[in-house]
Amino acid sequence: MATFHGQNVFITGASSGIGRATAIAFAREGARLLLCARNLAPLEELRESLADAGSPAVHIFQLDVQKRSEVEAAIAGLPADWKDIDVLVNNAGLSRGLAKLYEDDPQNWEEMIDTNIKGLLYVTRYVVPGMVARGRGHVINLGSTAAYITYANGAVYCATKAAEKSISEGLKIDLMGTPVRVTSVDPGMVETNFSKVRFRGDEERAAKVYQNITPLQPEDVADAIVWVASRPAHVNIHNVVMTTIDQANSTVFNRRG
């Protein structure tokens, strides 16, 4: 496995779930961690754990990736020793609602499109030029099995993840001739706050999503992210599609009991 000692790993949406687990996983590999989220308090709480896990340096800042001017200013304003980003993990993302398209609240669409697509584009746009100039870097985008099969009442969320898949593929084409790598990690059901966010804090409804099934854990996805980033420099893993053993795709599950 490649070493990440001395490398700067930038993770968006790092305050919980897959982002948090990925930060801890890279800390164990000795990476310097650049972390952002909309809520700064969980990142502050995480800082000591990352140091204990092995990260030699952690820089955190508050950022809503939906806001282009803030993304541009935040990346341009990074301290000198954090400007050279070796690995970008575009993890920030969310789902809102689970309803028929013609009955849904358009505000749900705005949040998903602005975060999952536009936020991904903004961060990528302001980080990747530096990677190209330095002749090294790896962009890892968090996709979903929802990009491959659309499920009922999730048309817009699935569309945002299909967009992420296309953006990842297009970025890789655009980067041909450079050493910069691009990977889309596309998990199925993962037990995080995803469903709680989707249902705006309705914990009972969120819990039913994982009922009678063994979902992936954030650490499973983090392990895959570190693995793809640790491949030899000439190897590019384009996609990792991963699910629990109880999931075949976005619509077929094995629910026990």
Per residue of the chain (257 residues), what is the pLDDT tens digit?
A: 458 999 999 999 999 999 999 999 999 999 999 999 999 999 999 999 999 999 999 999 999 999 999 999 999 999 999 999 999 999 999 999 999 999 999 999 999 999 999 999 999 999 999 999 999 999 999 999 999 999 999 999 999 999 999 999 999 999 999 999 999 999 999 998 888 888 888 888 888 888 999 999 999 999 999 999 999 999 999 999 999 999 999 999 999 87
* DSSP H or E run through 184: strand 181-187
Give a yes or no: residue 248 inside a domain: no
Where in the sequence is the domain holding 194, given as residue range(s)?
8-242
Judge whether 26 and 9 are in contact, CB under 8 Å: yes
Whole-angstrom distance, CA of residue 245 vs CA of residue 212: 13
Give a yes or no: residue 2 inside a domain: no
Catalytic residues: 157
58 closest CA partner among 71, 72, 44: 44
Give a yes or no: residue 39 inside a domain: yes
pTM for the model stands at: 0.96
Whole-angstrom distance, CA of residue 76 vs CA of residue 93: 22
Give a yes or no: residue 117 inside a domain: yes
Give a yes or no: residue 19 inside a domain: yes
CATH, residue 18: 3.40.50.720
Number of domains in the chain: 1
17 closest CA partner among 215, 227, 242, 159: 215
Q: In the prediction, which pLDDT does 25 show?
A: 98
Residue by residue, what is the 3-state secondary structure of 103-139?
HCCHHHHHHHHHHHHHHHHHHHHHHHHHHHHHCCCEE
Q: In the prediction, which pLDDT does 208 show?
A: 85
